[in-house]
Amino acid sequence: MEKTDDYLPGVKCVVSSCYYNMQGNYCTAEKIEIQSPKAQDIQETDCATFIKF
């Protein structure tokens, strides 16, 4: 997945250890994928786009 020079509007990311994180809590991935398909609440979801910085 490509890293862009701009951020995804409407997406807030507070994971400072992610490669796609931009100062100000923004995400610079060209798109994001949220997992798990069978999630029933917020604790069962995560960002599959995450790459450790």
Total domain count for the chain? Answer: 1
Q: What is the pLDDT along the chain (53 residues), one digit of tens a residue?
A: 889 999 999 999 999 999 999 999 999 999 999 999 999 999 999 999 999 99
pTM given for the model: 0.85
Decide if 10 contacts 31 (C-beta within 8 A).
Answer: no
Domain containing residue 9: 1-53
| DSSP of the chain | --B-SS--TT-B---TTBTTEETTTEE-BSS--EE-TT--SGGG-EETT--B-
Q: Are 27 and 11 in contact (CB under 8 A)?
A: yes
Which residue reads 């398909």 in tokens? 37
**What CA–CA distance (Å, rounded) separates 5 from 32?**
15
Element (H, E) at 7: none
